[in-house]
Amino acid sequence: MYRILCMNQSNAIPELFREFDKETDNGKNMDDINKLLDKACGEIIRAFNKKNVQQLQYDRSALMIPNTNKKHNYNEFELVTWLIIR
């Protein structure tokens, strides 16, 4: 979906990033964005844990991964790119 939305788009759409800057006070107030990013990281961790459990059930050579159910921190992830969909 990400690829389809960005197809034939080589640059950001100025109206949209101006609106984003307005909503976030030029990036000074990112609380709402950080909450969304935190949720996304939580989903990545949950998917990773689910895959590990499934692997343990079906693969005798699987290794137990340490418990990552601790409070997740999106600073442990590297943000490579982002896309805002309205």
Question: What pLDDT, in 10s, does the model give residues 71-80?
Answer: 555 667 777 8
- Residue 65: pLDDT above 90? no
- Model pTM? 0.61
Average pLDDT of span 27-45:
88
Q: Provide the residue count of the chain.
A: 86
Q: What is the pLDDT of residue 25?
A: 95
Share of the chain above pLDDT 90, in %: 14
Q: What does the alpha-carbon distance between residue 65 and residue 3 come to, in Å, rounded to a whole number?
A: 32
Angle at 4 between CA 39 and CA 37, to 5 degrees: 15
